[in-house]
Chains A and B, each alone.
Chain A
Amino acid sequence: MSGIYVHVPFCKQKCTYCDFASYPREIGKAESYFACLYREIEGRSKQYPGRVIDTIYVGGGTPSVVPAKFIAGAIRQIKKCFHVRETAEITIELNPGTVDAEKIKEYKSVGINRFSIGLQTGYDDQLKKLNRIHTAKDFLECCNLLKGENISADVLIGLAGQNLEQVKKTVDLALAGGVSHISVYALTPEVGTPIYTDYLNGELLSDDEVADIYDGIRTYLKEKGFDRYEVSNFAKSGYRSRHNQNYWQRGEYIGVGVSASSFMENRRFTNTFKIDEYINAVIYNKTPEISSEIIEDKDARFEFIMLALRTTDGLNVKEYEHLFKSNFKDEYKAQLSKKAQFLEFDGDTLKIKDEYLYVQNDIILSFMKE
């Protein structure tokens, strides 16, 4: 499977927890940015010819803040330069308060068929504290515009003062909006973000409190017909995100735009995080990449395990053995025996037992070789 990720580095205002490449004050550069983005798409298609694309994901930032024609242009360009399957999953991230019927119509016109809405929480005071631009009501209005579409919502846990009841209510709101997929992310305070200060002052929830909420909401989502298929992702049957599954299966992907990462032909590379640098590079036919690494065999093996064990489908032993020409059970004999109580084999798949998925680092670490 192959995917393409398109990064839109613009938004109305930065959320307090955001450490992504997104620049509210540079939205005036959108036009030239997208012009360059189209050029990069073309360039990448020549660099990696003959690829069949199964999924496209437009993320940000807030892709919905820029005029819809820019987004539509990007999708058209991808379709022009690559072979995109008829059945491809094409997702766009939206924030309530930045979309209208016109925009959605234009998105759909180019084949966008999945909408990921940043809800985060159903409580307006919490939204305000996170510096989000929308309210719970805006979310429902946004969903209303998308009636009948494949919608996903992002929910944050671990906010200051948050409890399980509130997260359940947030999930209820998402369900009322008709979502078929929910991502539940534990708030990760990154250095340099405003929320990091809250973290330093001990205002965020403790790991144990977050784990309590996580366990509670996992049960709740299960009752509502949403199965966990990865650490933070829950979906109704048939609604898993194909794009993200490709990452966990260690499939190939091309990332275009500022800060986007690609993994092609065993090379992982990342574009510059600065819009001006990106535009300059593309205009002068230079690479916008700022880092690139060939993944060595040892790292490739570990990545395969680390990514696969995040999912409830687990690791396909046959696939591992085919890729790395080794006998999995022999190669990891010691690790498998040491961590046996946390793991389960189901035919040819190795999984972390359900109850240990949220404490998986320690298990995964044991598969890391010296």
Chain B
Amino acid sequence: MSIKKENIRNFCIVAHIDHGKSTLADRLMEKTGQVSERDMEEQLLDSMDLERERGITIKLTPVRMFYKAKNGEEYIFNLIDTPGHVDFTYEVSRSLKACEGAILIVDATQGVQAQTLANAYLAIDNDLEIMPVINKIDLASARPDEIAQEVEDILGVEAMTAPRISAKTGLNVEDVLEKVITAIPAPKGDDNAPLKALIFDSYYDNFKGVICFVRIMDGTVKVGTKIRTFMSDKQFDVTEVGVFSPKMQPKDSLTAGEVGYIAASIKSIEDTAVGDTITTVENPAPEPLAGYKKALPMVFSGVFPLDGSKFNDLKDALLKLKLNDAALSIEPDNSAALGFGFRCGFLGLLHMDVIQERIEREFDLQIITTAPSVSYKVYKTDGTQMVIENPTHLPPVTEIDYMEEPIIKASILTPPDFVGPIMELCQYKRGVYKDMVYLDKRRVELKYDLPLNEIIYDFFDSLKSRTKGYASFDYEVSGYQKSDLVKLDMLLNGDVCDALSIIVHKDKAYERGRQIAEKLKDVIPRQMFEIPIQAAVGGKIIARETVKAFRKDVLAKCYGGDVTRKKKLLEKQKEGKKKMRSIGTVEIPSEAFISILKTDSDK
């Protein structure tokens, strides 16, 4: 079936978390007959399998839908899904580049939230048409008129004619489909111009090689076309092109305006970086499309296998994850305490959590993650400068002239009642107050400059607990700032455990040292001997706790009828020990390394 370019719509859906993005996506697929209601579950199950087999996040898979509009015309809708969290701004931006418009879902009960704003601005920055949709109007507390007004006031986007729907019940979902036709422009582009195809995602398929998810901006690509990438400057022969419906469906060609995939027996994912442009060898485009703002990892953490012999498995897992996650950075690392592992860079804490969980779930590997760090700029007395992502690499104090730490611009949306507690928190986190805006009676936007280093500790949790979960938070990194930082070391049984070292502000070193020592005392189980836990800055001990030696670790009775049962008890005890890592003579549970973050520091 051939469809005019004017009848193609490429769009994505953006929303604050839990405002109903996935539900609406499901509903759109259902209404366009992409999946029948009956098959819905099956479809999702298939996807899950696929996700597991290939290690990709299906959520980023674009879906091609056919829609017969009320005007009698047939349309192709390409829906490109996006992740919703602030950590994944980069992922969002790469999806946006492939679209002409974005459906902005706003919850009719909650209104505009932090990520509604962040994602909407991102879409506007990418020249996308914003099409607001008011969701959850079936709820008793829905305030669609007020919310529509709010969207207009805050975002300056026309919202009075926005479809008011319930994605959950399916109410008015057709309005969304109709509105897409009028609100979102058709793609431009020339089928006969030199090929410019934007890679917005990719994954590795065992049979076909790397599959590139592309948006064709100009030109045509078909099987047999000799293609070339701009950044990596490699050449390949196209073996297959096609679209997503939502499974991959081969086609003869892809032309300007279309969204689909290209396979070209590409062996390495590195050759087809997300954001790169594909063109043809014979008639190349003079310059590539504007790529994305490259996402820089902001949070760094050591990732080590719990079982040291699984280093290669961990390496494979990380490389596989990196195939689909350009924002993840990996570098080999070596810790005296934990052996060989990797220093990984993440977009934020959620990203770190996701990767950690995927390693454990999808690759069945148990890992130890060390306390996250940010990257610091170190200006040395000899005039050189270095960037430190791992506290262990910090040069001796005598060689440091001064240091700089990354600063973020934070925006916190909160009901007015919580302004006081939040200001207190931000101040405690070394924040600098910038601005306070009353958005309406119910919401205040607070703006602060905060050191990123303070955010990666328990900022989210503290914010949530102080505002009963009502506040939402968004940030962007704004630059570096000179700061009085020191390295805080933890000593176990007299030896520095490098995996526990962190960089902190000098004024906080004593307090954090004490908190971490206390926390370690709680998480390290008693052992055969007494274990002193010390916190030290520059060789000076600033805090000490002791894990006492255990006194009783014995089976009281063991007679004829007990042997098997007691043996099982010991086996269980042994299993527990496997989750521990020996640091010198001390055995430490793997969660100890990350638990030092959660010190309830503002109590």
Which residues of A come within 8 Å of B, CB atoms?
3, 5, 185-188, 207-208, 210-212, 214, 231-232, 244, 247-248, 253, 255, 259-263, 268, 270, 293, 299, 302-303, 306-307, 310, 342, 356-365, 368
| B564 part of interface (Cβ distance < 8 Å) | yes
| B554 part of interface (Cβ distance < 8 Å) | yes
Q: Is the CB of B557 within 8 A of A188?
A: yes
List the one stretch of B230-238, B411-419, B478-486, B568-576 in contact with chain A.
B568-576
A293 / chain B contacts, CB cutoff of 8 Å = 564
- How many angstroms from the CA of A368 to the CA of B567 in the assembled complex? 10
Q: Is the CB of A359 within 8 A of B551?
A: yes
- How many angstroms from the CA of A313 to the CA of B585 in the assembled complex? 28
Q: Is the CB of A247 within 8 A of B556?
A: no
Q: Is the CB of A188 within 8 A of B567?
A: no
Q: Is the CB of B561 within 8 A of A368?
A: no
- A selection of 27 A-B contacts at a CB cut-off of 8 Å is A5-B560, A185-B556, A187-B556, A188-B556, A207-B551, A211-B552, A212-B551, A231-B558, A232-B556, A247-B558, A247-B563, A253-B560, A255-B560, A261-B560, A261-B561, A263-B563, A268-B564, A293-B564, A303-B563, A306-B570, A357-B554, A359-B528, A359-B550, A359-B552, A361-B555, A365-B574, A365-B577
Chain B 510-531, CB-CB to A under 8 Å as 1, else 0, gives 0000000000000000011000
B548 / chain A contacts, CB cutoff of 8 Å = 208
B573 / chain A contacts, CB cutoff of 8 Å = 361, 365
B574 / chain A contacts, CB cutoff of 8 Å = 365, 368
Chain B 535-552, CB-CB to A under 8 Å as 1, else 0, gives 000000000000011111
| B287 part of interface (Cβ distance < 8 Å) | no
Q: Is the CB of B561 within 8 A of A303?
A: no
- How many angstroms from the CA of A37 to the CA of B574 in the assembled complex? 39
| B559 part of interface (Cβ distance < 8 Å) | yes
Q: Is the CB of A185 within 8 A of B528?
A: no
- How many angstroms from the CA of A188 to the CA of B564 in the assembled complex? 17
Q: Is the CB of B560 within 8 A of A263?
A: yes
Q: Is the CB of B528 within 8 A of A356?
A: yes
B602 / chain A contacts, CB cutoff of 8 Å = none
Q: Is the CB of B558 within 8 A of A207?
A: no
- How many angstroms from the CA of A342 to the CA of B556 in the assembled complex? 19
Nearest CB of B to A278, in Å: 15
Who on chain A is nearest to B561 by CB? Answer: A261
B557 / chain A contacts, CB cutoff of 8 Å = 185, 188, 232
Instruction: Count how many chain B residues have C-beta atoms less than 8 Å from C-beta atoms of the other chain.
Output: 25
In the complex, chain B residues 560-594 whose Cβ is within 8 Å of any chain A Cβ:
560-561, 563-564, 566-567, 570-571, 573-574, 577
A214 / chain B contacts, CB cutoff of 8 Å = 552
- How many angstroms from the CA of A60 to the CA of B262 in the assembled complex? 77
Q: Is the CB of B563 within 8 A of A310?
A: no
A188 / chain B contacts, CB cutoff of 8 Å = 556-557
- How many angstroms from the CA of A248 to the CA of B555 in the assembled complex? 13
Nearest CB of B to A342, in Å: 7
Nearest CB of B to A362, in Å: 6
Q: Is the CB of B554 within 8 A of A361?
A: yes
Q: Is the CB of B554 within 8 A of A302?
A: no
| B553 part of interface (Cβ distance < 8 Å) | yes
A5 / chain B contacts, CB cutoff of 8 Å = 560-561
Who on chain A is nearest to B571 by CB? Answer: A368
Q: Is the CB of B527 within 8 A of A244?
A: no
Who on chain B is nearest to A310 by CB? Answer: B558
Q: Is the CB of A303 within 8 A of B567?
A: yes
Who on chain A is nearest to B550 by CB? Answer: A359
Q: Is the CB of B556 within 8 A of A231?
A: yes
- How many angstroms from the CA of A40 to the CA of B574 in the assembled complex? 38
Given contacts A268-B564, A299-B567, contact A362 B553 (CB under 8 A): yes
Nearest CB of A to B550, in Å: 6
- How many angstroms from the CA of A185 to the CA of B562 in the assembled complex? 14
Q: Is the CB of A307 within 8 A of B558?
A: yes
A360 / chain B contacts, CB cutoff of 8 Å = 553-554
Nearest CB of B to A199, in Å: 14
Who on chain A is nearest to B570 by CB? Answer: A365
Q: Is the CB of B553 within 8 A of A361?
A: yes
Which residues of B come within 8 Å of A, CB atoms?
527-528, 548-561, 563-564, 566-567, 570-571, 573-574, 577
Who on chain A is nearest to B577 by CB? Answer: A365
- How many angstroms from the CA of A270 to the CA of B554 in the assembled complex? 24
A356 / chain B contacts, CB cutoff of 8 Å = 528
Q: Is the CB of A368 within 8 A of B528?
A: no
Nearest CB of A to B575, in Å: 10
Partner of A208, one of B551, B558, B566, B570: B551
- How many angstroms from the CA of A201 to the CA of B549 in the assembled complex? 25
B571 / chain A contacts, CB cutoff of 8 Å = 368
Given contacts A303-B567, A342-B528, contact A359 B553 (CB under 8 A): yes
B552 / chain A contacts, CB cutoff of 8 Å = 186, 207-208, 210-211, 214, 358-359
Who on chain B is nearest to A271 by CB? Answer: B561
Q: List 6 tightest A-B contacts by C-beta distance, closest first.
A: A211-B551, A261-B561, A207-B552, A361-B553, A211-B552, A186-B556
In this complex, which of B557, B570, B574 has the most chain A Cβ atoms within 10 angstroms of its Cβ? B557
Who on chain B is nearest to A339 by CB? Answer: B528
- How many angstroms from the CA of A358 to the CA of B552 in the assembled complex? 5
Nearest CB of B to A251, in Å: 10
Q: Is the CB of B559 within 8 A of A361?
A: no
Nearest CB of B to A206, in Å: 9
Nearest CB of A to B318, in Å: 26
Who on chain B is nearest to A338 by CB? Answer: B585
Nearest CB of B to A302, in Å: 7
Nearest CB of B to A328, in Å: 20
Who on chain B is nearest to A261 by CB? Answer: B561
- How many angstroms from the CA of A303 to the CA of B566 in the assembled complex? 10
Partner of B560, one of A208, A247, A302, A361: A247
- How many angstroms from the CA of A357 to the CA of B560 in the assembled complex? 20
Nearest CB of A to B565, in Å: 10
Q: Is the CB of B528 within 8 A of A362?
A: yes
Who on chain A is nearest to B555 by CB? Answer: A361
Q: Is the CB of A244 within 8 A of B559?
A: yes
- How many angstroms from the CA of A360 to the CA of B550 in the assembled complex? 10
- How many angstroms from the CA of A207 to the CA of B549 in the assembled complex? 12
A303 / chain B contacts, CB cutoff of 8 Å = 563, 567
- How many angstroms from the CA of A208 to the CA of B552 in the assembled complex? 7
Given A302-B567, A360-B554; 20 other pairs, CB 8 A cutoff: A207-B550, A232-B556, A247-B559, A259-B561, A261-B561, A268-B563, A303-B563, A307-B558, A342-B528, A358-B553, A358-B554, A359-B550, A359-B552, A359-B553, A362-B527, A362-B528, A365-B577, A368-B570, A368-B571, A368-B574
Nearest CB of B to A156, in Å: 10
A212 / chain B contacts, CB cutoff of 8 Å = 551
Nearest CB of B to A230, in Å: 9
Partner of A231, one of B527, B554, B564, B577: B554
- How many angstroms from the CA of A247 to the CA of B560 in the assembled complex? 6
- How many angstroms from the CA of A368 to the CA of B572 in the assembled complex? 11
- How many angstroms from the CA of A360 to the CA of B569 in the assembled complex? 14
- How many angstroms from the CA of A361 to the CA of B525 in the assembled complex? 14
A211 / chain B contacts, CB cutoff of 8 Å = 551-552
Who on chain A is nearest to B529 by CB? Answer: A341
A368 / chain B contacts, CB cutoff of 8 Å = 570-571, 574
- How many angstroms from the CA of A362 to the CA of B527 in the assembled complex? 8
Given contacts A253-B560, A261-B561, A365-B574, contact A306 B550 (CB under 8 A): no
Who on chain B is nearest to A3 by CB? Answer: B560
Nearest CB of A to B370, in Å: 26
Nearest CB of A to B306, in Å: 15
B577 / chain A contacts, CB cutoff of 8 Å = 365
B564 / chain A contacts, CB cutoff of 8 Å = 261, 268, 270, 293
B566 / chain A contacts, CB cutoff of 8 Å = 306
- How many angstroms from the CA of A214 to the CA of B552 in the assembled complex? 9
Who on chain A is nearest to B548 by CB? Answer: A208
Nearest CB of B to A222, in Å: 19
- How many angstroms from the CA of A262 to the CA of B570 in the assembled complex? 21
- How many angstroms from the CA of A364 to the CA of B574 in the assembled complex? 10
Who on chain B is nearest to A210 by CB? Answer: B552
Q: Is the CB of B556 within 8 A of A359?
A: no
